[in-house]
Structure 1
Amino acid sequence: MKIQSIQNEYENEIIDLILNIQQKEFNVPVTLEDQPDLLDIHNFYFKPGGTFLGAFIEGQLVGTIALVKFNSEAAAIRKMFVKKEYRGKEFQIAQQLLEQLIAYSEENGIKNLYLGTVSILQAALRFYEKNNFVTISKEALPVDFPLMKPDNVFCHLKLNQ
């Protein structure tokens, strides 16, 4: 497996991976129109100081994770998706994506990581808890946190500086 920084040259693969998981696997009522960031990865993620990573196996995109830097010391994790057949301990794709994102964050002066998700994604919540994220209330989020409409569970990780 290879993890690398990706931008819109992988737009079709990114959209296909993410929408299939959101809509078909978890029935989350979200469309491409609800996620304009996927059509402008450079400006949405990279320009403010974030990143977008893809995990590839034999040239096929099997996982993504992205970071939206929303102030000088805080960022939001977005677009954490791994194809169903590549999930779990055997492949460790989600773990490796998260570890690379945390390393990127620490190297770039980010002290706090936040994320929003939906309560239906119980395995994702367990994964974040296992990685020392703490569930917080929506009211505890920074005022400049970029909220996503469907999110109803929020987590925070204070990074070691």
Structure 2
Amino acid sequence: MKTEMEIQKYTNEYQNSVVELIAFIQQQEYNIPIKLEDQPDLFSIEKVYQSGRGNFWIALHNGDVVGTIALQDIGNQQAALKKLFVHPDYRGKSYGTAAHLLHTVLEWAEQQAIVKIILGTTEQFKAAHRFYEKHGFLEITERELPEDFPKLKVDTKFFTYVI
């Protein structure tokens, strides 16, 4: 019998688990050419994400980090959706990890009076594209990104969600 998924705000005790999960998915599962050095935000989560109207959450199953999601305040009542990663064993409808994480972010954004969420992703994450579209995100061009959007080198597709 599976136990319930627990979504909670990130605390420092989970840093290594968060870094390991994200690096595994990016580098080993999808062969994305991004190194941990290219993501200094992973080593200062509190400063980058848990400030202003932003935050960072983890999904725990039996005490293990199986998913992450972040909302980065970029000003003008806008936020960047970042670091939505779910371990392969916890994807899909049986656990609903990504949906739980996204619901947490959307609820938080509404409480924080954020009016628009923007995200960047890579071409390889086809299932993620479908997931975002299914949850009301619309694809936009890079030219439509706000000036302060924290774009990564590997970001090639962009989506927005109006609250």
> Structure 2 CA distance, aligned partners of 1:58 and 1:103?
24
> Structure 2 CA distance, aligned partners of 1:96 and 1:153?
23
> Identity rate of aligned residues, in percent?
43
Aligned to 2:52: 48
What's the offset of the Cα at 1:48? 2.9
Matched, 1:99 2:110: no
SS in structure 2 at match of 1:88: coil
Aligned to 2:8: 4
Alignment TM-score, normalising by the size of structure 1: 0.97
Kindly report structure 1 stretches of 4+ aligned residues shifted beyond 3 Å: none
SS in structure 1 at match of 2:113: coil
What's the offset of the Cα at 1:129? 0.3
> Structure 2 CA distance, aligned partners of 1:7 and 1:67?
15
Cα RMSD after superposing both structures: 0.7
Aligned to 1:26: 30
Q: Which runs of 5+ in 1 are unaligned?
A: none
> Structure 2 CA distance, aligned partners of 1:4 and 1:122?
27
Q: Which runs of 5+ in 2 are unaligned?
A: none
> Structure 1 CA distance, aligned partners of 2:114 and 2:15?
26
What's the offset of the Cα at 1:7? 2.9
Matched, 1:63 2:67: yes
Alignment TM-score, normalising by the size of structure 2: 0.96
> Structure 2 CA distance, aligned partners of 1:119 and 1:131?
18
Number of aligned pairs? 159
> Structure 1 CA distance, aligned partners of 2:24 and 2:76?
33
